[in-house]
Amino acid sequence: MTRRVIAQGTFDILHPGHVHYLRDAAALGDELHVIVARRENVTHKRKPVLPDRQRRDMVDALASVTEAHLGHREDIFVPIERIRPDVIVLGHDQHHDADGIREALAARDIDCEVTRASAREPAHEDELLSTGRIIDRILAERGGGGDRNPGSDA
């Protein structure tokens, strides 16, 4: 019997923290399905910089991911009902209330475990494990935007 795991998140500008979370989640089953939040549904923090499909495609390209899906526009539980996971893995620092999710799953007759991934400590002092910190660093080091050559690799 195949054990399905779901992870979910925004995944705006992939970084080592995302990779750790998804590897942690994948280790709990045979298939890892990742639900990538649509920009319009992100309300707990700043909207993603990258487009929905680009973020989904980047997550889908990771070796630990079986398939990445965009979240549903109106009801976050629709893809969960379709995938029928055995486990939902929340990121160690995600804002979600695990007990609230368990209650919502039970109300929809979805029987699955809800757990959290482990935290990942930075491998070195300047490693950035947060999209917000990556964006802050970009703005600090390259802010203003006027000095970037549009055709460059910088």
- Looking up residue 35, the CATH number of its domain turns out to be 3.40.50.620
Return the structure tokens found at 28.
Answer: 């709990």
User: Can you point out the beta strands (E) in the chain?
Assistant: 4-9, 31-36, 67-70, 87-90, 113-116
- Whether 45 is covered by a domain: the verdict is yes
- Whether 152 is covered by a domain: the verdict is no
| Residue pLDDT, tens place only, 97-119 | 899 999 999 999 999 999 999 98
pTM: 0.87
Tokens 């203003």 belong to which residue? 144
Q: Is 57 annotated among the ligand-binding residues?
A: no
Q: Is 15 annotated among the ligand-binding residues?
A: yes
Q: Is 16 annotated among the ligand-binding residues?
A: yes
Cα–Cα nearest to 88, from 111, 115, 66, 62: 115
Tally the domains of the chain: 1
- Whether 121 is covered by a domain: the verdict is yes
Range of the domain at 15: 4-142
| Residue pLDDT, tens place only, 15-59 | 999 999 999 999 999 999 999 999 999 988 889 999 999 999 999
Q: Is 33 annotated among the ligand-binding residues?
A: no
